[in-house]
Amino acid sequence: MKNSKGFSLIELIIVIAILAILSTGAVAGLSKIRYANTKKCANELNTLIEKGRMQAMSKAGTWYLYVYKTSDGVYYKITKETTTPTDGNLLAGNSISIKFQKDGASSEETLTAGSNPIKLKFSKNTGGLLEESVTGGAAYYKYIKVIGSSTYKIELNKLTGKHFLSKG
């Protein structure tokens, strides 16, 4: 027999099959990571709203939760400041989009870099949401959506400050 120095057809087919299985697993894994990041961001925002409520009810003064976007991503800060902070904590990267709708508005808005932030103002007595002055009057936020590879919606109750996270 001659000493062959190449691959047989069967060896080549087996290698291609193994690569196909591994690449399918990698694609599925990446989509789960993106899904998890969207879900993580929505859960964290939901927790921050509750933290803002509790802060307002337990400490003196008026407390705000700011959610704002820069070119680097989406940031948040719970503070007594009445102006948009510039030293918040990173909530999500640029792959996450935040949309919201104000009470009485006919359509939802998208949070963009340089735009007005989402500014939730909490009542000391009830933890409910207070009207916040915005361009053209005052408004409550009806809901906030976190959009990535999936969508999560946080519905806000203005009277009690309770909020409900749901998928979609």
pLDDT in tens, 12-30: 899 999 999 988 877 766 6
Mean pLDDT of all residues in 118-144: 76
Q: Out of 43-47, 75-79, 157-161, which region has the weakest mean confidence (pLDDT)?
A: 157-161
DSSP string, the chain: -----S--HHHHHHHHHHHHHHHHHHHHHHHHHHHHHHHHHHHHHHHHHHHHHHHHHHSSS-EEEEEEEETTEEEEEEES-SS--SS-EEEE-TT-EEEEEETT-SS-EE--TTSPPEEEEE-TTT-PEEPEEETTEEE-EEEEEEESSSEEEEEE-TTT--EEEEE-
pLDDT higher than 70, residue 116: yes
pLDDT digits (tens, 9 = 90+) for 72-81: 888 999 998 8
Residue 1 — pLDDT band, cuts 50, 70, 90?
Answer: low
Mean pLDDT of all residues in 133-140: 60
Q: What percent of the chain has pLDDT over 90?
A: 29
Closest CA to 76 of 37, 46, 36: 46
pLDDT higher than 90, residue 153: yes
Higher pLDDT, 137 or 62: 62
Tell me the C-alpha distance between 134 and 62, whole Å.
17
Higher pLDDT, 80 or 168: 80
> What's the longest Cα–Cα distance across the chain?
92
Mean pLDDT of all residues in 115-136: 77
Global confidence as pTM: 0.74
CATH number of the domain located at residue range(s) 9-167 in this protein: 3.55.40.10
Residue 159 — pLDDT band, cuts 50, 70, 90?
Answer: confident
Mean pLDDT of all residues in 101-124: 87
Place of tokens 């936020």: 141
